Amino acid sequence: MSQQASELFDNFQELTPSEFFRKNKQMLGFTGKIRSLTIVFHELITNSFDAAEEAGILPEIKIDLKRIDKDHYLLRHSDNGPGIPEDYIMKVYCTMFAGSKFRNIQSRGQQGLGCSGCVLLSQMTTGEPARVVSAYEEGDKLKGVKLEFKMDVKKNKGMLLKREDYDAKHTGVCVELEFKDVSYSLAEQGAFEYIRRTIIGNPHAKIIFRDPTGHKYIFNRAADMVPVLPKEVLPHPKGVTADDLIFMAKHTDKRRFRSLLTSSLSRMSNKRISEIEEITGIDLNKRPKDMKWDEAEEIVNAFSKMDFMAPPTSGLIPIGNEQIEDGMKEILKPEFITATTRKPVTYRGGVAFIIEAGIAYGGNSGRLVNETRKAEIMRFANRVPLTFDQGSCAITEALKSIDWKRYGLRDLDNTPVTIFVNIISTQVPYLSTGKQSVAPEPEIIHEVRQATMKVGRKLQKYLRAKKAAKEEALRSRIFEEYVPAILKESAALAETEVPEYQEVLAKVTRRSLAELLGEDPDKVEEEVEEELTSTIDDVEEEKNPDIEDID
Amino acid sequence: MTDVKEKTKLNRKEITYNKLKGLGQDIINDVTEKKIPTLSVPSRGTSNIVYDDAKRYYVLGDRYGKRSLGNVKQIKKIGQMVHVANFCKDLVQREKTATLREMYYVSEGWGIGFDNQQESNIVGEDIEVTLGTTREDLGLMPEEDGASVYGNIVLQEGDIEINALKSGKSGYTISPTIDEVDFVGHDVKRVIAVETMGMFHRMVQEKAYDKFDTLIVGLKGQAARATRRFLKRVNEELNLPVYICNDGDPWGFHIAMVIISGSAKLAHVNHDLATPNAKFLGVSASDIINYELPTDPLKDIDVLRLKELAKDPRYRDEAWQNEIKKMLKIGKKAEQQSFSKYGLEYVVDTYFPEKLDAME
């Protein structure tokens, strides 16, 4: 059976990945004019971020999008990352599936098609070559090179057309690609919105974007710290499939099943190995290369019946609520902002994840639709904005299930709020190949709900206080207008002078404030009385209430 | 003619004036004492209107509503109340009166005015119940005149002395300002109030005032506040018994009862309006039977009303309960003027003497 499978794979080899995707570009996410351009932005930005962060550099990206004709654009994308050594440039941009290794790591994570996919799309739609400038350090020298190349689809590699030295000032990569059949849009799914959201999810980054009209947008960074790099952690037994096991067995240097399992999976002790042997009856001293599909399936089945410690969470690096708040503040200039980061938990019993949520109210929060601001939901997975397929997403589903009226938002749709939700995980359970929506795992929905309800409550508290303040101002005006008028009439009625009434006016106002805040107005009245009659000494004592307790 | 001593008029004016002034003083005193002024306004809800067995009329219970200067919703009402109080104090001082409509128009110049006349009427009533004074005392007059009075009584209205025997065939018309009228003297032994002006004129023509030494009062249907105040005053100040003669139907019964025991709606001023000593003379169900009067069958609405009356605390005594039962039983009603079946003079020559004999 395994032989048949490899034969089948041999047949596939005749069609190179590049050739396969040339015929099936929708599998790279290139469907529709707007979406295609957004995906290009996504791939290039993600690549720049990953490179810069790995080198410990705060990412700064310049993007220049020029319109040549209808649906025809020239894109120039440059970063301040470590650059790509000359020998690797065409591998990065022209070879599909550059590195494929089973990695259980939190990553912005694409299938490794990223940049080469963009070059492929450019070449397919325009026939124009890609131009890349790379500046990198070699030893302690700064080297620069400018290449012009095309992709040889049949061979799945680059075809150099031109090369010249480049006088570099600092490290980084600049790539120039031309596209047709794409379209720049300000819609929620468009490239501009993608950048805006990217900055919110990555407050440590700076992006300068010149749009086709020549307008320059500068998205400044709100945080000056390069995020801690996520560590690779061994996958948890409950998070792997039979296919994963086979893959591991093929690529391992271990000699036995048992050592393969203990070295490739977390929480896998000798005691657990004996348990697996007992349940499955498989001889775990066999060589990994001989592992059959049935055996892998049986082992995975056994995993599901066993109890394991929860997976390690050290590999998960959330954005952190302060940084989320800073990022949203920078972009949305909201009136109110709050964010929360939940503790790590697991779904399917074995995959750790963290949910982060933030909510911004007022200012530029929400989406501008015909001059009114409506609620918008920003979904992220490992800091990457998810802009498509929102309908079936766990985040959307969880937010829909919340009764927003309970949080003082009577009409959520027409409220100027931006709700931010980010899922951090070594394995985000995407629903489809486009990786644009998260599977509605019950644990994920629960966590999204909890996180969002928490920020919702904080927003509600703020809105209440704001409403009370507004009402209070209104009431004060009523009192300030009516009290003098009433006392003037009353004095005329009593045939006497209008007495000094400032204290009573102050009391009346305080009392109504207490009422607004749901306190006992009578109690407050007493307090005001005390306050007004208390001497300086009394006030001193009030500041140190402990003094009395000592007696 | 009996001379009547001048006694209450000056007092009433002074009392009202002082009450109004006191309302202002209460507020000012609170402020001087650094307290938030609060007014207690007796509740006029139906649950706070109770029948007082001893007084034999409706009174307000002891439930109060608070109007605090410290409450956004109540402060406007307080403002309106002090404005109205000042307006009334001015009326009382200058011995003038104004209608509620006039006050509503005047209020347009106030800092805290009214949105509509309904609102100003209610604030007027608020002052009445709060101070326990009638609106007539406050100088706020109803638009309608009171009943007609014919008979030997001399009244003083300002500078003018009026003899109700010499005021034309329609007699003296009770003014809304009846409390400013002094009784100078009279030569009568009783008062008979009748529902219709038809009966009033019959009695004048047949010289009933002379035959029975009576004042004749033509109520013109439901008695106006001024009429009820007049009847109460002649009953209490002049010690004259008051008899009421209406149509023999539930509506006639109730016109009499409102004079005797007051209305629920005006529970707060019934102490000035109800005449518990007044007596219902007829036409009763018994009269219909005894005098074999021409009748009309009771309509559904009459039956319904009779059943309502049977449950009303004002009709609790046995005589009334019997009359109501009797009328429901015969299923018939009769008008006052149906006595003319026996000739125009019959009612004065036969009916009244017989009834008065029986009652006195």
Report the complex ipTM.
Answer: 0.75
Name the domain boundary from B87, B113, B141.
Answer: B141
- Under the banding of pLDDT at 50, 70 and 90, the label for residue B35 is confident
One DSSP character per residue, B206-272 reads TTHHHHTTEEEEE--SSPPHHHHHHHHHHHHHS---EEEE--BSHHHHHHHHHHHH--STTGGGHHH
B274 and B125 within one domain: no
- Assess whether B10 and B37 both reside in one domain: yes
Residue A7 has pLDDT above 50, yes or no: yes
Residue with tokens 């029975």: B212
pLDDT tens per residue across span A224-243: 888 888 888 888 888 888 88
Q: Are residues A361 and A432 in the same domain?
A: yes
| A288 φ/ψ angles, rounded to the nearest 5 degrees | -55, -40
As a dihedral over the C-alpha atoms of residue B219, residue B222, residue B223, residue B225, rounded to 10 degrees, the angle is: -150
Query: Quick one: pLDDT at residue A535?
Result: 35
- As beta bridge partners, residue B2 has B186
Within 10 angstroms of residue B307's Cβ, the number of other Cβ atoms is 12
Rounded to 5°, angle at Cα A103 from A100 and A104: 155
Residue with tokens 């101070």: B131
Q: Can you give the pLDDT at residue A532?
A: 41
Q: How many domains does chain B have?
A: 2
Query: Is there a single domain that holds both residue B163 and residue B34?
Result: no
pLDDT at A504 over 90: no
Phi, psi of B195 (to 5 degrees): -70, -45
Residue B82 has a CB neighbour count (10 Å cut-off) of 29
Residue A159 pairs with which residues in a beta bridge?
A: A150
- Judgement on whether residues B176 and B125 belong to the same structural domain of the protein: no
Q: Are residues A436 and A534 in the same domain?
A: no
Question: Is B162 found in the same domain as B119?
Answer: no
pLDDT (tens digit per residue) in A65-84 = 999 999 999 999 999 999 99
pLDDT band for position A5 (cuts 50, 70, 90): low
What is the C-alpha separation between A503 and A205, in angstroms, rounded?
55
Go through A181-201 and write b for each residue having 16 or more CB atoms within 10 A of its CB, e for each that does not. ebbbbeebbbbbbbbbbbbbb
Instruction: Choose the final residue of a domain: B106, B141, B176.
Output: B141
A213 shares its domain with A243: no
pLDDT of B10 reads: 59
Residues B331 and B257 reside in one and the same domain = yes
- Kindly state whether A507 is in contact with chain B, defined as any CB-CB distance less than 8 angstroms: yes
CB < 8 Å to A504, chain B: 30-31, 34-37, 69
Judge whether residue B347 has pLDDT over 60. Answer: yes
**Among candidates A211, A225, A310, A306, which has minimal Cα distance to A266?**
A310
- Is A47 annotated as a binding-site member? yes
A165, A52: one domain: yes
Q: What is the DSSP letter of A59?
A: -
pLDDT of residue B158: 85
d(CA A352, CA A349): 8
Same domain, A57 and A137: yes
Mean pLDDT of A525-536: 42
Residues A280 and A148 in one domain: no
B31 and B120 housed in the same domain: yes
Q: Which of A2-16, B48-62, B139-153 has the lowest mean pLDDT?
A: A2-16
Question: Hey, CA dihedral for A449, A455, A458, A462, is it positive or negative?
Answer: negative
- What DSSP element (H or E) covers A76? strand A72-79
Q: Given this model, what pLDDT does residue B284 score?
A: 93
The mean per-residue pLDDT over the stretch A363-390 comes to: 88
Tell me: do A122 and A270 sit in the same domain.
Answer: no
Same domain, B191 and B120: no
Q: Which residues pair with A157 in a beta bridge?
A: A152
Query: Which residues of A fall within a CB distance of 8 Å from B17?
Result: none
Looking at the fold, whether B153 and B235 belong to one and the same domain comes out as: yes
Counting the structural domains of chain A, the total is: 4
pTM of the model: 0.61
Residues A208-231: what's their mean pLDDT? Answer: 89
Contacts of A289 (CB under 8 A, 6+ apart): A249, A250
What is the predicted pLDDT for the residue at B1?
63
* CA pair distance A195, A192, nearest whole angstrom: 5
Is residue A404 over pLDDT 80? yes
Least confident of A13-22, A129-138, B303-312: A13-22
In CATH, what number is assigned to the domain containing residue A360?
3.30.230.10
Say whether residue A491 is in contact with chain B using an 8 A CB cutoff: yes
- Is the domain of B228 the same as that of B312? yes
Question: B4 pLDDT band (50/70/90 cuts)?
Answer: low
Q: Are both A53 and A158 inside the same structural domain?
A: yes
**3-class DSSP state for residue B152?**
coil
pLDDT digits (tens, 9 = 90+) for A250-307: 888 888 888 888 888 888 888 888 888 888 888 888 888 888 888 889 898 888 888 8
What does the mean pLDDT of chain B come to?
Answer: 90
Domain boundary among A250, A274, A305: A305
Do B119 and B167 share a domain, yes or no? no
| CA B359/CA B291 separation, integer angstroms | 17
Q: Tell me how far apart the terminal alpha carbons of chain B are, to the nearest angstrom.
A: 22
Q: Do B76 and A507 touch (CB under 8 A)?
A: no
Q: What angle do CA A373, A378, A382 make, to 5 degrees?
A: 160
Q: In this structure, what is the dihedral angle of CA atoms A204, A205, A206, A212, given to the nearest 10 degrees? A: -150
The per-residue pLDDT for A549 is: 33
Asked whether the beta carbons of residue A496 and residue B25 sit closer than 8 angstroms, the reply is yes
Which chain A residues contact residue B25 at CB under 8 A? Answer: 493-494, 496
Does A483 sit within 8 Å of B75, measured CB to CB?
yes
| Same domain, residue pair B243 and B136 | no
**Burial class (CB within 10 angstroms; exposed 0-12, middle 13-18, buried 19+) of B327:** buried
Q: What DSSP string runs through A106-153? A: ------S-HHHHHHHHHHHHH-PPEEEEEEEEETTEEEEEEEEEEEET
> CA-to-CA distance for B336 and B333, rounded, in angstroms?
10
pLDDT at A6 over 90: no
Whether A293 and A337 share a structural domain: no
- Sign of the four-CA dihedral B276, B279, B284, B289: positive
Query: What single-letter DSSP state applies at residue A160?
Result: E
Domain of residue A521 covers: 480-550
- Residues sharing a CB contact under 8 Å with residue B189, sequence separation 6 or more, in sequence order: B212, B213, B214, B240, B241
In which domain, by residue range, is B11 found? Answer: 2-141
Q: Which of B248, B218, B207 is CA-nearest to residue B337?
A: B248
CATH number at residue B116: 1.10.10.10
Reading the block at residue B26, the tokens are: 């209460």
End-to-end CA distance of chain A: give it in Å, rounded: 88
Contacts within 8 Å (CB) and 24+ apart, B205-210: B206/B344, B206/B345, B206/B347, B206/B348, B206/B349, B208/B348, B208/B352, B209/B150, B209/B151, B209/B152, B209/B165
Contact B223, B252 (CB under 8 A): no
Q: How far is A464 from chain B (nearest CA, A)?
A: 19
Active-site residue numbers of B? 105
Same domain, A338 and A453: yes
Which of A483, A490, A507 faces B24 most closely, judged by CB atoms?
A: A490
* Residue ranges of chain B whose CB lies within 8 Å of a chain A CB: 20-21, 23-25, 27-28, 30-32, 34-37, 69-72, 75-76, 78-79, 82-83, 85-86, 89, 111-112
Do both A130 and A167 map to the same domain? yes
Alpha-carbon span A241 to A428, nearest angstrom: 15
Together in a domain, A361 and A293? no
Quick one: pLDDT at residue A536? 35
Domain boundary among B141, B176, B193: B141
User: According to the model, what pLDDT value does residue A467 have?
Assistant: 84
Write down the residue that tokens 């638009």 correspond to.
B143
Place of tokens 């004259």: B240
